[in-house]
Amino acid sequence: MCGIIGIVGRSSVQERLIDSLKRLEYRGYDSAGVAGVVDGHVQRRRAAGKIKALEDVLAADPLNATVGIGHTRWATHGGPSTKNAHPHTQGRVTLVHNGIIENYAELREMLKADGRTFESETDTEVIAGLIDSELASGKDPVAALKAALDQLSGAYAIGVLIDGEDELVMGARKGSPLVVGYGEGEMFIGSDALAVGPFTNRIAYLEEGDYVAIDHDKARIFDANGKPVKREMRTVAASAALVEKGNYRHFMEKEIHDQPEGCQRTIAAYVDTLAERAAIPGGVDFAALERIQIVACGTSYIAGLLGKYLIEQLADLPVDVEIASEFRYRDPALKPGTLAIGMSQSGETADTLAALRLCEAKGMTTAAVVNAQESTMAREVDVVWPIHCGPEIGVASTKAFTAQISVLTALAVAAARARGQIDAAEEQRLVRVLLGAPRLIAESINLEDAVKAVAVEIAKARDVLFLGRGPMYPLALEGALKLKEISYIHAEGYAAGELKHGPIALVDEKTPIVILAPFDSYFEKSASNMSEVMARGGQVVFITDPEGQQHAPAGARVVVTAPQSDPLIAPLVMAAPIQLLAYYVAVQKGADVDQPRNLAKSVTVE
Ligand code: G6P
């Protein structure tokens, strides 16, 4: 979950390390550090807190190095303190690490028995200790690295500096991604293409178990058995401009506003606009499928749930959706004829990746709906269905969510047609509706001022309930998740029909209840729930559309009226108000919108 960068440069690396760490901050941000070779010796600078704190340390005590490594941390072993911040040093070895070393306690005892002492509570320091011990036994740096890696179990990506080696950075990966960047007389390693994006777009992805040594001109890559290997160099698009905030205050605000374009680009990739047909790349025969199994975490899981509503209703194809961390450990009954789909913005989420590998091992066809097209998931599955919303930086997912839903909607239409559930004319109608979604999403985002006013009230609440029926139920879950994530207000999303089975006990004058109810086939039932809540003094925020507004029972405290839309795209159109609500509540509370406490954008540990 942490971010790594390593540079063998020709000029000073301090600013470049920081620049890269800022791009990697989405992977964790509770402490940061850099190290560099100065006059043949490795020096470190570290700080608890955000990268700004590290910048202050460096301003007072610059690192005059042309070779260095950097790290931004999301704590697993040991709290977020300077002492636990990476890089960690043992003897001649200084390194940064992303992942978890499962046998670290055992290794630590072993190294302690050899007379080593440890400065931190991390699992990382043992890797440095192991490499240093191997160096002390006379091995060269690359052989020492390999010997140390052979003793580790767990997941890692690492970047290593050796005291006395002023033209060497080493790296290794197993379970966590690492890329090699090729510059002009300079070489890089990094957690992803974004990390090395400002320096080069020529990149090679290390494979599971690979390790590497870079100098100014080349990368020597070895596989897990120590055999020298070549990994294909590709040119990737990780343009620096894509990750600027522009005129927005926060990335999340920008990304909410990016949604019409992100969905438009995504939809365009999944429909044939001329023929007005759904066109899903990858050659999956939806007519032959017996079932779809979706696995995902967080917001991607909620997008998957929406997929179930859409695909089952339109295509009469059974869809199971499961949280990846549950699925992977519970011995699910997996049958041939099932297509496994992983939903993941990052394409690196450890549990989703493992769930897909399980499906693969059981002989199922695997697909992934991902944003990061160069991610591990994208490279491992049989079929990649990319979303095209651009890099998402805000920890709370927004534009990736609606882009994922866009793909699943197109997929539902394609499956419906393939399975004879709709005819060509209906397919055309649905595709036209889908193509109209970006415009309506834009209109929905224009509700910003109305939502801002509601947010002032919600910011005072201790608990908030989100209710919805049908596809609005997953959206209610997403509304609650967004609010929890960035404003730290306790929120629950419920199927409105479950109201009487528990949550109604929470209803009082102090608990705002957000009801999501466009004028669809569920509307009357949702309106009854609204009356039940109001009869008990509940303060309702009713998010509906113009028809729903006309038919709503009187008495809702606030009505937010999103544009009228076909039910097919209602989830896309209704998403913006709940995202904006969470955003403005967090802003109102002065919370750190883009980097909420304890969370990370890419969860590469289970
Ligand atoms: C983290 C992020 C969420 C995201 C989830 C799944 O919890 O904070 O925004 O939804 O991981 O990530 P993925 O990259 O697999 O979609």
pLDDT (tens digit per residue) in 42-56: 999 999 998 999 999
- Name the residue with higher pLDDT: 524 or 238: 524
Please identify, by atom number, the ligand 1 atom nearest to the C-alpha of residue 599.
8
Q: Is the CB of 297 inside a 6 Å radius of any atom of ligand 1?
A: yes
* Test site for ligand 1: of 603, 604, 605, most ligand atoms within 8 A of the Cβ: 603
Q: Is the CB of 298 inside a 6 Å radius of any atom of ligand 1?
A: yes
Q: Is the CB of 352 inside a 6 Å radius of any atom of ligand 1?
A: yes
Query: 202, 235 in Cβ contact below 8 A?
Result: yes
Alpha carbon nearest to ligand 1 atom 13, residue? 344
CA of 61 to the centre of ligand 1 (A): 36
Strands 88-90 and 67-73: unpaired
CA of 500 to the centre of ligand 1 (A): 31
Q: Which of 15-19, 527-531, 581-585 has the lowest mean pLDDT?
A: 527-531
Tens digits of residue pLDDT in 315-365:
999 999 999 999 999 999 988 899 999 999 999 999 999 999 999 999 999
Q: What pLDDT score does 373 carry?
A: 86
Longest dimension (CA), the chain: 81
CA of 593 to the centre of ligand 1 (A): 15
Taking only Cα atoms into account, the Rg of the chain, rounded to an integer number of angstroms, comes to: 25
Q: Is the CB of 604 inside a 6 Å radius of any atom of ligand 1?
A: no
CA of 601 to the centre of ligand 1 (A): 6
Chain region(s) in the chain for CATH 3.60.20.10: 2-242
Please identify, by atom number, the ligand 1 atom nearest to the C-alpha of residue 342.
15
Whether residue 563 has a cis bond before it, omega within 30° of 0 = no
Region 446-594: CATH code:
3.40.50.10490
- Name the residue with higher pLDDT: 599 or 161: 161
Alpha carbon nearest to ligand 1 atom 1, residue? 601
Q: Which of 123-137, 154-168, 226-240 has the lowest mean pLDDT?
A: 226-240
Q: What residue has token string 């007519």?
A: 287
Q: Is the CB of 482 inside a 6 Å radius of any atom of ligand 1?
A: no
For the annotated catalytic residues, the residue numbers are 2, 601
Q: What is the pTM of this model?
A: 0.78
Sign of the torsion formed by the C-alpha atoms of 9, 14, 19 and 22: positive
Q: Mean pLDDT score of the chain, rounded to an integer?
A: 92
Please identify, by atom number, the ligand 1 atom nearest to the C-alpha of residue 400.
16
Q: Is the CB of 395 inside a 6 Å radius of any atom of ligand 1?
A: yes
CATH class of the 247-435 domain in this structure: alpha beta
Two tokens at 161? 């500096």
* Test site for ligand 1: of 26, 191, 256, 297, most ligand atoms within 8 A of the Cβ: 297
Two tokens at 255? 């990304």
* Test site for ligand 1: of 481, 601, 604, most ligand atoms within 8 A of the Cβ: 601
In angstroms, what CA-CA distances link 100 with 24, 85, 154, 495, 569? 18, 15, 6, 37, 41
Region 2-242: CATH code:
3.60.20.10
Chain region(s) in the chain for CATH 3.40.50.10490: 247-435, 446-594
Alpha carbon nearest to ligand 1 atom 5, residue? 298
